[in-house]
Structure 1
Amino acid sequence: MYPAHSTVVASPWYSIVAALVAVMLWSVAPLLAELARTSSPLQLTALTLLAGALATLPLSHRVPVTMLSKRWQLSVWLGVPLLIFGAVSSYFIGMRLAPAAEAALITYTWPVLFVLLSQWSRFGKLRMAGVIGALIAFSGAALLLLPQALSGGFGGATTGYALALLAACCWALYSWLGQAAPLALTPLLPRLLLVACAIATSASLLMEGSIEVPSGDALLAGIALGLGPYGIAMVAWDKALRLGQASIVGSLAYGVPILAAALLVAAGVSVLDWRPPCAAMLVVVGCLKAGR
């Protein structure tokens, strides 16, 4: 889930179709997470990352990681798996503690955070377009949270919103690290996901005391999450950005919040009213403004 920039341009239709596949699969992630609510979030994280590692196995090949400095080796083999684990687990836990639509929308502000981080690391300062885009995007999230704030507070959902924001921060840092790394992370993705799966399994043992394989719909949803949003989607997105025009392909990702909100409403998970579409549009506009 990181924007990789390339000057190689193949058939524009191929790259657009690949990007649309990734966008559709990412849009289904909140609904699949809701279907797996009966499973422990950490155990669901481990199952999802394991399925994602299996789905991305065809990408795996030898990469000269040993040629990197010790700092970069540590960043790749420990930093990246920790960020993946943090993003996925925070997302799942956040959706248990807060309404799914609101938590998902907050997580999908990660492209704005990525743009701000990239600007700061490259120029040593934030550009006005990025700041304005971030304010617009987060105003969309605020629009969803406003009724709860006016009615006397967020209650227990506050922790869920904070975890959703943490997931967004993890994805932004992961994206920035993938862009800044001196080698492509995609060939390493199966192994990185396996390391993240091991971290999730260890965390489940420490915090929950045991590991139980989910059953029924939770098992199928967890496997689907790994194969789709955290497997095939990441492969398709990498191909789209490396074989197409990054500016065109990247703009398609901003449709994820809108499609995700629509699927949650269609499945009856969220209530249909004017706020989710307006909030999703504000997030999309903010991402477009920040990315200019």
Structure 2
Amino acid sequence: MLLNTRLLHLPWLGGGAAALAVVLWALVPLLVTQAEALPPLRLSALALLAGALGTLPMARQGRNPNAKRNVKEALIYLGVALLIVGAVCASFTAFSLAPAAEASLILYAWPVLFLLASRRLALGRLPATTLAGALLAFSGAALLVAPQALSGGVSGAWSGYLLAAVAALCWALYSLACQVPAWHLGERMPHLLLIASVMTGIASLALEGTISMPSQETLLVTAALGMGPYGIAMLAWDRAMRDPQAHHVGHLAHAVPVLATLSLVVAGVSAPDWRLPVAALLVVAGSITAARPPRGGMGMRQD
């Protein structure tokens, strides 16, 4: 037991856990493209189910049977599960409608949306650094969609870009919900993912109908997609955020869009394009700039 306690407080453990989560999150676009045999909603339902199983160690122990509290908890579960459904389903569908690398860069601009909302709520205004960072990040996304906009016409890719933006908004709102200490979303993660999986499964049956049994390879990729980014990564990031240096290791998340783009190009899913690295750097630079604390410090509201 003494050895285990010491291991939990090793100085490198928080950074290592954060790095593992970042790598797994960056693999989402690649894994989704490898499981394209499944329609997006069906893929989302199965991945969320695998994620629920992967996050079981986070499950909350014990409940207060107070009826009023149970009503409040039911509303929390429903609302947050809907955000997860929106985030996962919209992003998976976006990858099927638009080039994966471009859709992923739009998706991974969500930390900027989160900062815009959280700082507006905390300060009642938006600091200049946050606004400048947002403009940088959004200019990266604009660089990707500008060629289609200038050439005229609306293609299917535009639907993918829009859904990637919807997914980014859902992740930003989910992150805001995580800032409410009384909600303990980390402890509720397995239940939230399970509820989201059931919701998505019902939508899949209604909209996509029944399908034949996918191949073993597709099922393995789907399991990896759920257990990795929505299972192990959630556990690792939760551990990283409880580290004394969490305010430093959290910056590793800015590497996600770059790693996601790199993995798609290396795997041959996306063709090399000068716009991709430039857009990725703009998104990362914008996220880092927006994350800089405003002058005079900032206290997040906890109510």
TM-score, normalization: structure 1? Answer: 0.92
> Does 2:19 match 1:25?
no
- Is residue 83–residue 174 contact of structure 2 (8 Å, CA) maintained in 1? yes
Following superposition, the deviation at residue 60 of structure 1 comes to 1.3
In 1, the alpha carbon distance for the partners of 2:92 and 2:287 equals 23
**Which residue identity does 2:11 align to in structure 1?**
P
Change (3 A) 1:215 1:173: same
Name the residue aligned to 1:178.
178
Residues 260-275 of structure 1 mapped to structure 2, 5 A cutoff: 260-275=260-275
Following superposition, the deviation at residue 209 of structure 1 comes to 2.6
- Is residue 91–residue 107 contact of structure 1 (8 Å, CA) maintained in 2? yes
TM-score, normalization: structure 2? Answer: 0.89
> Does 2:38 match 1:39?
yes
Following superposition, the deviation at residue 219 of structure 1 comes to 1.5
Change (3 A) 1:69 1:271: same
- Is residue 66–residue 73 contact of structure 1 (8 Å, CA) maintained in 2? no
Following superposition, the deviation at residue 218 of structure 1 comes to 2.3
Say how many residue pairs are matched. 284
Which deviates the most, 70-79 or 158-167?
Answer: 70-79
Name the residue aligned to 2:81.
81
In 2, the alpha carbon distance for the partners of 1:99 and 1:284 equals 20
SS in 1 for 2:232: helix
Name the residue aligned to 2:258.
258
1:116-155 deviation digits (Å, cap 9, x = unpaired): 1111222222222111111100101111112222222441
Residues 52-91 of structure 1 mapped to structure 2, 5 A cutoff: 52-62=51-61, 64=63, 72-91=72-91
Following superposition, the deviation at residue 183 of structure 1 comes to 3.5
Output the aligned Cα RMSD.
1.8
SS in 2 for 1:257: helix
Following superposition, the deviation at residue 157 of structure 1 comes to 1.0
Change (3 A) 1:63 1:285: farther
In 2, the alpha carbon distance for the partners of 1:244 and 1:65 equals 30
Name the residue aligned to 2:228.
228
Following superposition, the deviation at residue 69 of structure 1 comes to 5.0
Change (3 A) 1:57 1:212: farther
Please identify the structure whose Cα radius of gyration is greater.
2
Name the residue aligned to 1:135.
135
In 2, the alpha carbon distance for the partners of 1:70 and 1:113 equals 31
- Is residue 44–residue 214 contact of structure 1 (8 Å, CA) maintained in 2? no
In 1, the alpha carbon distance for the partners of 2:79 and 2:259 equals 31
What is the percentage of aligned positions where both structures have the same residue? 52
- Is residue 11–residue 243 contact of structure 1 (8 Å, CA) maintained in 2? no
**Which residue identity does 2:169 align to in structure 1?**
C
In 1, the alpha carbon distance for the partners of 2:57 and 2:26 equals 24
In 2, the alpha carbon distance for the partners of 1:232 and 1:154 equals 39
In 2, the alpha carbon distance for the partners of 1:80 and 1:152 equals 38
Which deviates the most, 278-287 or 211-220?
Answer: 211-220
Following superposition, the deviation at residue 212 of structure 1 comes to 5.0
Name the residue aligned to 1:13.
12
